[in-house]
Structure 1
Amino acid sequence: MKRVLVIGPCGSGKSTLARELAPRMGLPLVHMDQLGWQAGWVETEKAELHARLAEVVARDEWLIEGNYGGTLAPRLARADTVIYLDFPIRLCLWRLAKRIITHRGRSRPDMPEGCPERFDAAFFWYVARWNSGPRVRTEANLAGYTGTLIRLRNPDALAQWRRANSLD
């Protein structure tokens, strides 16, 4: 595993897993949110996001965490492994609420400075509708993927995978 993607619904634990795996695997970690946002919750221009991502994807080794469906195809084209945290949305919403409470007013480690955690009803709605929108698009992108796909459907499956790979 030299070029790894960690994807899944918001609140599934992608960032946490990526922060754990990258140093163990000796891979440089890239958070899509750090590429996609700038201080003050200013979205990175699409052309700049794609240029920054192209630079990362061209490298020989990386672990990229995050969805950003519009950028998934070029990442999949280079990834040798995808770890898909395909967790239940109820759990993801619960974790998202917990994250907001825990980090409220502060930027999380996977976000750029100047993007303090906050409640955003539209974002909650996006996550709540994951199965009927983003999930469908993610599955379509994965349909043609020929590398190793590790689909973990719940935290117990993740724990089992960690144990099997000496990552716990």
Structure 2
Amino acid sequence: MTVPSRVLIYGVHGSGKSTLAARLATRLGLPWYPVDDLLWEPGWVEVPVAEQRNRIAQICRRDHWILDGAYHGWRDVPLARADLVVGLDYPRWLSFGWLLRRTVRRVVSGEEICNGNRESWHSVLSAESILVWHLTGFGRMRRRMRAWQADPSGPPVLLFRHPADLERWLTDLPGR
């Protein structure tokens, strides 16, 4: 197995992308660039899409990176350079359960997420809630991962439908 140098991790909100990115960064000795840090300014101000694209493009020009997500305005940039896409294609009940527990924990603890931003009960109960994003985006993201895997012109895509399968892959993955 060739050890990848440029890895895109993709999945629905709450599927474990950032957790996996941190583990892969340690295992492979690659720099991890948390996407939330690149997309959100303090006060949950979204970075304009053109600037998001510029930030992602700067990272993707490098020889070594891990990104823990890809969004509409710039998804093509990491896909064009990735050696590997890891898709976390878990059942909805599993990823939503993880997201719900994580969200409640973050609200209660006041844990910082990115650039000083924190989740609040107000944000969780709003129309822009990450829980709503999960529910409305799940099917679309799943179809996208599966289409990527079926496309021979794109980077290789490993889809994991169960956490145990991911753990087996990680165990067998050579480090740097």
Shorter-normalised TM-score: what interval?
0.7 to 0.9
Q: Is it true that 1:113 corresponds to 2:125 in the alignment? A: no
1:21 to 11, 24, 39: 24
**8 Å CA contact retained: 1:8, 1:67:** no
> Paired residues, what number?
164
User: What is the identity percentage for the equivalent residue pairs of Structure 1 and Structure 2?
Assistant: 36
1:142–1:121 distance in 2 versus 1, CA, 3 Å: farther
Q: Is it true that 1:149 corresponds to 2:157 in the alignment? A: yes
**8 Å CA contact retained: 1:81, 1:147:** yes
TM-score of the superposition, structure 2-length normalised?
0.83
Residue 154 of structure 2: SS of its match in structure 1?
Answer: coil
Residue 63 of structure 2: SS of its match in structure 1?
Answer: coil
Unpaired runs of 5+ residues, structure 2, are none
**8 Å CA contact retained: 1:7, 1:82:** yes
Report the equivalent of 1:65.
Answer: 68
Question: Which deviates the most, 66-75 or 92-101?
Answer: 66-75
Report the equivalent of 1:51.
Answer: 54
**8 Å CA contact retained: 1:2, 1:80:** yes
TM-score of the superposition, structure 1-length normalised?
0.87
2:9 to 6, 10, 14: 6
Report the equivalent of 2:135.
Answer: 128
Residue 112 of structure 2: SS of its match in structure 1?
Answer: coil
1:73–1:143 distance in 2 versus 1, CA, 3 Å: farther
Unpaired runs of 5+ residues, structure 1, are none
Report the equivalent of 1:89.
Answer: 92
Which residue type is aligned with residue 106 of structure 1?
E
Q: Is it true that 1:159 corresponds to 2:167 in the alignment? A: yes
| Offset of residue 135 of structure 1 | 2.9
| Offset of residue 78 of structure 1 | 0.2
